């Protein structure tokens, strides 16, 4: 039962019930509602500022996990990038130096990678981490470019190496007869008194003394340009090694290779003799570079140790009479 309030009426000297007006009742209700709404809004605000909804907090946690994964991926990408730079360094500073070729210009290695414009789409998506994401994509692009250039560079190095191998095999690089004991080199290269002509003459090769019939070797890969009997050289073989190099082997008892024949380094091509203008059995050996005779002693490192080579140089300095 609703409580009935009374008041004391001084005119009637009686307690009479209080009758509330409709307006007062309305104002009371409105007041109650206003306080309730303000309280409710306050509670909602407090909740929103202090507590994260479960769904949203799950998303936040997932987002944090993804960021950690992304950073790990970035670290791995950076390591791959550093490794690619090491390969570039070895390529330019070691392989290309050995092969005597120019390093790849920086403009080629690093040119043609897109800037920020390429990733406008990503930037427009207004992602919180768009700078980080674009940075990763750019690094990935640079790495792809580096690896592409590096792979092309290795193709070039491979073909250069094949060419160099061919050149190294062709270069006259051993002694033309077996001379391990270093007793065969008889005379030196250059101006010497000629024993038969009795005059000073340029001796354009080296003489190796050896018994008749001692095998004579081709000193590098090449092609026999001629083998014939000459009045001065006797039985002689001319070999063209390419790359500007030629060799000549004179005074042979016989030659066993003919014009146009391909020869390999170390192949027996004839035998020591004393044919032509010769004093005693020996091999007269010449090396020419671009048609000019050069001292063959510069080419014997390959089959000698450093000590042996120095000893051979000493021997070559001794004054002896050429056997021609």
Q: How many Cα atoms sit within 13 Å of 170 on the Cβ side?
A: 19
Q: Which residue is at the shortest CB distance from Zn ion? A: 284
Query: Applying CB under 5 A, which part among 34-42, 157-165, 236-244, 281-289 lies near Zn ion?
Result: 281-289
Rg (CA), the chain: 49
3-state secondary structure at position 240: strand
Query: Applying CB under 5 A, which part among 34-42, 112-120, 192-200, 284-292 lies near Zn ion?
Result: 284-292
Cα gap 117→255, rounded to integer Å: 74
- Applying CB under 5 A, among 207, 208, 276, 283 the residue interacting with Zn ion is 207
State the minimum distance, in angstroms, from the CB of residue 210 to Zn ion: 13
Q: Which residues, 6+ apart, have CB-to-CB distance to 258 below 8 Å?
A: 224, 227
Q: Which residues, 6+ apart, have CB-to-CB distance to 94 below 8 Å?
A: none
Does 88 sit near Zn ion (CB under 5 A)? no
State the minimum distance, in angstroms, from the CB of residue 207 to Zn ion: 4
State the minimum distance, in angstroms, from the CB of residue 92 to Zn ion: 46
State the minimum distance, in angstroms, from the CB of residue 87 to Zn ion: 51
Tell me which residues in 133-192 interact with Zn ion (CB under 5 A).
none
Query: Applying CB under 5 A, which part among 8-16, 132-140, 258-266, 279-287 lies near Zn ion?
Result: 279-287
State the minimum distance, in angstroms, from the CB of residue 229 to Zn ion: 17
Closer CB to Zn ion, 38 or 196, in the complex: 196
- Applying CB under 5 A, among 184, 255, 284, 297 the residue interacting with Zn ion is 284
Judged by CB under 5 A, how many residues of this single chain contact Zn ion?
Answer: 4
Q: Which helix (H) or strand (E) holds 313?
A: helix 306-316
Contact (Cβ atoms closer than 8 angstroms) between residue 89 and residue 109: no
Nearest to residue 219, comparing CAs of 261, 279, 180, 267? 267
Contact (Cβ atoms closer than 8 angstroms) between residue 223 and residue 240: yes
Query: Applying CB under 5 A, which part among 16-24, 136-144, 146-154, 205-213 lies near Zn ion?
Result: 205-213
3-state secondary structure at position 197: coil
3-state secondary structure at position 104: coil
Chain residues that interact with Zn ion, rule: CB under 5 A: 207, 284, 322, 324
């Amino acid at each position: 039962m609703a409580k009935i309030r009374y008041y004391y009426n001084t005119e009637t000297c009686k307690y009479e019930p209080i009758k509330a007006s409709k307006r007062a009742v309305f104002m009371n209700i409105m007041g109650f509602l206003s306080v309730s709404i303000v309280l409710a809004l306050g509670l909602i605000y407090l909740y929103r500022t202090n507590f994260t909804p479960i769904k949203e907090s799950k998303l936040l946690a997932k987002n944090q996990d993804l960021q950690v994964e992304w950073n790990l991926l970035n670290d791995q990408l950076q390591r791959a990038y550093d490794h690619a730079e090491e390969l570039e360094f070895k390529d330019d500073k070691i392989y290309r130096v050995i092969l005597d070729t120019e390093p790849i210009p920086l403009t080629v290695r690093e040119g043609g990678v897109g800037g920020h414009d390429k990733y406008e789409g990503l930037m427009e998506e207004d992602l919180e981490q768009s700078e980080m994401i674009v940075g990763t994509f750019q690094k990935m692009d640079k790495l792809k470019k580096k690896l592409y250039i590096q792979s092309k560079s290795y193709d070039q190095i491979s073909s250069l190496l094949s060419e160099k191998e061919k050149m190294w095999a062709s270069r006259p690089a051993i002694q033309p007869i077996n001379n391990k004991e270093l007793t065969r080199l008889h005379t030196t290269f250059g101006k010497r008194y000629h024993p038969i002509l009795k005059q000073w003459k340029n001796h354009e090769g080296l003489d190796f003394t050896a018994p008749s019939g001692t095998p004579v070797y081709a000193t590098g890969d090449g092609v026999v340009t001629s083998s014939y009997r000459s009045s001065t050289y006797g039985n002689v073989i001319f070999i063209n090694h390419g790359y500007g190099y030629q060799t000549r082997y004179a005074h042979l008892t016989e030659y066993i290779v003919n014009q146009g024949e391909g020869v390999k380094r170390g192949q027996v091509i004839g035998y020591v003799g004393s044919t032509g203008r010769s004093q005693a059995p020996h091999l007269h050996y010449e090396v020419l570079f671009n048609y000019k005779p050069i001292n063959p002693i510069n080419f014997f490192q390959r089959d000698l140790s450093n000590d042996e080579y120095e000893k051979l140089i000493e021997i070559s300095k001794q004054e002896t009479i050429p056997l021609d």
